[in-house]
Amino acid sequence: MSGLFDTFRDATLLQCTFFEKLLNLDMADVAAFSDSMVEFLSPTTESSFPENKFVYGLAAGRSALALYSFLQLIQNHFDNVFPYTLEDPVQRHYKSYKKNLGIAVSGSGETPSVNKYIEDIISHGGEIKLITSNENGTAFKMVSDYDKGSALVIKARTKYSTDKEARSRLTPMGTEFELEVLAFLNAAFKDIRSRLKGICEASCPEYRSTIVDFEENAKLLLEMDPHHLEQWFNKLFPRSGRYMIGGVGRSGLVARAFEMRFTHLNKISYWERDFNTPSFQIGDVYIPISGIGNTYEALEGMNHALSKGADVMPITANMSSKMVALMRKYGRVDDIVYIPVKPEYSRIFSGDTSSTTWLMSDYTKCRYPIFEINASIFTNSVVAVGAEFLGMVEAGMRRLHV
């Protein structure tokens, strides 16, 4: 077993420990977060036309992608709740006579764009929640001093940390905080749903069981075939071509977070659906991420990349998908990575039923994000391997961070 898989294994093991930190949060804080979301989401009128509500996701970079996963869940489950992001300024949508909620995520609490929009929410008199890891940050002070503000602290290493521990090599540039926020919000949503049904337990059993499930599922990554991963790493990193990363829905959020890290590794990378993404050419690699492996956009991208002579290295959980069938047709099944999931979830990721983002079933929209959490951990570990392979240190990656 060579050093690349050792790095992958160590990075994955470290990320598994982050779930223990989420179990050690004060459950009173978790319950308070859930209860406040229940208050916002609960119907406020007996009218047959429910009141429209607006949620503003205030975050940047990979922290934003972790938050947007939560916003997608809210949008998919509640027809009258409309999420907005930093791309949609608060002033454009804020209505004083409507219900408004800002949810800010900032590990350091010093991200200028996030703090600016926190100020906007406060100036409009809206409710604001903050998730941060820095109790001394500007964001924490602003929200804590505001009478309609509440802050939840998740202690984690961020991109601004300067410690020289092993985790700076294995989870560089704020990976710890981003993963913990992603897992926390998805687990909290289960607790919120339970409370909306009237089950309001102080110990937050739905939250805790979900975090345990995430951890058990994540540990399956440690059982992946070392030889196959070594081959995959050795094909992925030593190239001068461009990296195109694709995905839709919550898998697309994982893909965008993964693409950001290739920039930090000093590689030329694009998210598949950016306006400036160039056409494929020989030497490029296309990495579609799709749990079910039948997503229309991924299949179209794969066909286009293969026709242009580019490499295709999919990440999926479905061994019987159209994505796998296409790779088999081209004799490239060794270039596929299968993300493991627990047996009780395997039936979700099976078959070759076609799907498109605009004809997505309610079940697909609202299903448990078990693949996306594991795919996030896997891609984070791949980044640690890439830094090792390319001789990058966190200080160098930080200089490339926008």
Ranges of each domain in the chain: 3-219, 223-399
Phi, psi for 172 (deg, rounded to 5): -75, 155
Give yes or no on whether 3-219 and 223-399 have one common fold: yes
C-alpha–C-alpha distance, residues 279 and 301, integer Å: 10
List Cβ neighbours of 178 (8 Å cut-off, separation of 6 or more): 62, 63, 65, 66, 107, 257
Buried b (16+ CB within 10 A) or exposed e, 246-274: bbbbbbbbbbbbbbbbbbbbebebbbbee
Residue type, 57: G
Residue 56 tokens read as 């503003």
Instruction: List, run by run, the mean pLDDT of 10-residue segments along the chain (402 residues).
Output: 85 93 96 96 71 91 90 89 78 77 94 93 94 95 97 78 58 80 95 95 96 96 96 93 92 92 91 84 96 92 95 95 95 96 87 57 60 95 92 73 60
C-alpha–C-alpha distance, residues 142 and 139, integer Å: 5
Buried b (16+ CB within 10 A) or exposed e, 9-22: bbbbebbbebbebb
Looking at residue 346, its pLDDT comes to 84
Looking at residue 171, its pLDDT comes to 74
Q: What is the DSSP string of 299-358?
A: HHHHHHHHHTT-EE--EES-TTSHHHHHHHHTT-GGG-EEPP--HHHHGGG-S---B-GG
Top-tier CATH class for 3-219: alpha beta
Query: Model's pTM, two decimal places?
Result: 0.90
Classify domain 223-399 at the CATH superfamily level.
Glucose-6-phosphate isomerase like protein; domain 1 (3.40.50.10490)
Burial of residue 401, with CB atoms counted within 10 A of its CB: 0-12 exposed, 13-18 middle, 19 or more buried: middle
Nearest to 67 by CA among 120, 103, 121: 103
Rounded-to-10 torsion of CA 41, 42, 47, 49: 30
Phi, psi for 20 (deg, rounded to 5): -60, -35
